[in-house]
Chains A and B, each alone.
Chain A
């Protein structure tokens, strides 16, 4: 069955630095979604990517869908304390499967 894997599981970042989290699927995806869950909160939808090689930006966040539509990445530049939380990717082939998430902490 479909598996969606995210790495790293934990990311400790110095405030102001950049980092990237990766999402890999065992199957080709029709689309991929990214969500953010703040500590104690619920997941909130960030973005959806559909096209091969698609790149979308939201302020300091850059999302990319791989050419083969089996992987995706989220790159955050100049990390701020407001970026703390867990970032989930969710990939769809015949169903939507969530990765285990990357939990981000920020050192001020």
Chain B
């Protein structure tokens, strides 16, 4: 069966520090991969999605970036975090555009 792993579960970072969140999927090949951000009590904002290795689409301008160095690995990064980057970051995968998305447990990021 397919599983998705996302870490860390919780992260506290100072303003201006770098960020690296990692997501890996097991049990499937060439999945679509997604990064979402959820502000407290709010909906899901799509940040990036990828349909293959090295292929990244950005949905909103921001100081975050994403990379897909391997088929089942998706990384969310920032060189310098802002206070507004706080939130709940969720990675998800699907077998295709029209298929259900399966989410990881998420990372709660607090910027101080």
Give the size of the chain B interface in residues (CB under 8 angstroms).
15
Q: Among B43, B98, B100, which residue has its beta carbon within 8 angstroms of that of A98?
A: B43
Grouping DSSP codes into helix (H, G, I), strand (E, B) and loop, the B interface class, with mixed when no group exceeds half, is loop
Q: Mark B65-105, 1 if CB is under 8 A from A, else 0.
A: 00000000000000000000000001000000110111111
In the complex, number of A-B residue pairs with CB atoms less than 8 Å apart: 37
Whether a CB of chain B sits under 8 angstroms from the CB of A78 is no
- Complex Cα distance A95/B32, Å? 13
In the assembled complex, 23 residue pairs joining A and B whose CB atoms fall closer than 8 Å, in A order, are A31-B98, A33-B100, A33-B101, A42-B104, A42-B105, A43-B44, A43-B90, A43-B103, A45-B100, A45-B102, A48-B100, A90-B101, A92-B97, A92-B98, A95-B46, A96-B97, A96-B101, A98-B43, A98-B46, A100-B42, A101-B42, A101-B43, A103-B41
Q: Which residue numbers of B lie inside 8 Å of A, CB to CB?
A: 41-44, 46, 90, 97-98, 100-106
